[in-house]
Amino acid sequence: MERLNFDTIKHYQSFATIEDMDKAVRGFLYKYKSSLSDGAVKVLNFIWHYSVKVVGVSFAKYDTMAATVGLSRRTVIRAVKVLEELTFIKKIPTSRMNGKQGVNLFVIQPFALDQVSPQDVTHPVTPNKTENKQSSLCENKKQNRIIVKETEVEDSVREMGLNSEAVSRSDVDGEKQAESKGLKQKAGVTSREMQQKAQLNAEIKSTVQLKPVEWHQFNPSFLPEYVNKDFILAAQSFFHPGDIHKLWSKIQLAYKKVKLLANLDDVMEPIIADFKRTVFLYKTGKVHTTFEGYFYRVVYGSLWNLKVREYQQEWYERVMNR
């Protein structure tokens, strides 16, 4: 089990650029998306979009993934296992500096899209949709046209072989005819391959692709609406939108574990105070763990204190109503 540090993560970088990673993921989804569950697709999209600092490598915890994509921890683990079995995700266990088990690295593996033909990615059971019916009919028509051409060439050669004029020709003419037949058959195969590649390239080009924009170039307005606006205002001076969303996921995780009766938006004041205190301690060098880990423990403690107060209030009301 390897120690978790930047050199270890960098060692497992699986792509040279973000564009190469994007092509691999899109190629994998093009072939396997119809056979994957919605949970597996959500988990893959999470790993994909959080694998840009070291291209192809994500090191988010199961709990973080579950809170972000809205699934249970067990469902996320099952989804990762499915992606591992398809050999597209490789899980690397790591250890902390104290020797305890750390987070897992999820490494996206290269996917050779150029080796995939339209026949390979067509599944035996086609969903009952009009688009798929139309596309299947078009493909069948193309294949039928090619087969007819090959049959016509073979029939014409047979006729030439039975014709008395063809029999009377010299052996040199026979060799030329055989060579011509071979060239026509080879041209037919080449034509099919070119059609398959052209169709695949057209589908790839028609896919909308995002430009490789770094997180620090994003505006906080891109954050989802469920992220508290006061928290964004407090955090945007110190973190880019991607990290703000991670910290918000920590807040949501702590809130769900404590099972506070109060609405999360109603207790944001102490949480923002915890955030500011954590920033100050981190900047003064008094935080010796990760910022998000320390922040999560502080928020959990504050929410638990509020939960205790709710218990006390509930107990007091029961006593007074006796």
- In the predicted model, is pLDDT for residue 185 greater than 80? no
Please report, for residues 25, 30, 112, the alpha-carbon distance to residue 126 in angstroms, rounded to integers and kept in the order given: 22, 14, 24
Answer for the pair 153, 184: CB distance below 8 angstroms, yes or no: yes
What average pLDDT does the segment 256-276 reach?
91
Amino acid 17 reads T
Closest CA to 303 of 238, 247, 229, 251: 251
**Mean pLDDT of all residues belonging to the chain:** 76
Closest CA to 21 of 60, 47, 59: 47
Give the pLDDT band of residue 131 (cuts 50, 70, 90).
very low
| Residue 160 confidence (pLDDT) | 43
What average pLDDT does the segment 294-319 reach?
88
Q: Which of 108-122, 164-178, 241-255, 305-319 is most confident? A: 241-255
C-beta neighbour count of 300 within 10 angstroms:
18
Residue-wise DSSP of 136-199: HHHHHHHHHHHHHHHHHHHHHHHHHHHSHHHHTS-HHHHHHHHHHHHHHHHHHHHHHHHHHHHH
Task: Give the domain 6-108 fold.
Answer: Arc Repressor Mutant, subunit A (1.10.10)
Task: Give the whole-angstrom CA distance, residue 3 versus residue 27.
Answer: 32
The pLDDT tens digits for 41-98 are 999 999 999 898 899 999 888 998 999 889 999 999 999 999 999 999 999 888 877 7
Answer for the pair 3, 94: CB distance below 8 angstroms, yes or no: yes
Q: Which residues contact 246 (CB under 8 A, 6 or more apart)?
A: 64, 292
Q: Which of 71-80, 95-104, 131-140 is most confident? A: 71-80
| Residue 8 confidence (pLDDT) | 78
Task: Give the whole-angstrom CA distance, residue 253 versus residue 115.
Answer: 42
- In the predicted model, is pLDDT for residue 247 greater than 90? yes
| Residue 170 confidence (pLDDT) | 46
Sorted by where each begins, the domain ranges of the chain are 6-108, 218-321
Task: Give the whole-angstrom CA distance, residue 295 versus residue 275.
Answer: 7
- In the predicted model, is pLDDT for residue 157 greater than 60? no
C-beta neighbour count of 50 within 10 angstroms:
19
- In the predicted model, is pLDDT for residue 315 greater than 70? yes
Give the pLDDT band of residue 278 (cuts 50, 70, 90).
very high
Task: Give the whole-angstrom CA distance, residue 214 versus residue 308.
Answer: 42
- In the predicted model, is pLDDT for residue 181 greater than 70? no
What average pLDDT does the segment 153-161 reach?
45
- In the predicted model, is pLDDT for residue 125 greater than 60? no
| Residue 216 confidence (pLDDT) | 63
- The half-sphere exposure of 50 on its side-chain side, counting CA atoms within 13 A, is 21
Task: Give the whole-angstrom CA distance, residue 169 versus residue 185.
Answer: 23
Tokens of 40: 């597996």
| Residue 104 confidence (pLDDT) | 87
CA end-to-end span of the chain, whole Å?
59
Task: Give the whole-angstrom CA distance, residue 200 versus residue 185.
Answer: 23
Locate tokens 């010796």: which residue?
Answer: 288
- In the predicted model, is pLDDT for residue 172 greater than 70? no
| Residue 108 confidence (pLDDT) | 93
Task: Give the whole-angstrom CA distance, residue 173 versus residue 162.
Answer: 15
Q: How far is CA 316 from the centre of its chain?
A: 50
The residues with which 104 forms a beta bridge, in sequence order, are: 93
Cβ burial of 117 (10 Å; 0-12, 13-18, 19+) is middle
Tokens of 290: 């990760």
- Taken in order 92, 96, 100, 103, the sign of the CA dihedral is negative
The conformation of residue 200, written as its DSSP 8-state character, comes to H
| Residue 114 confidence (pLDDT) | 53
Residue, of 215 and 95, whose pLDDT is higher: 95
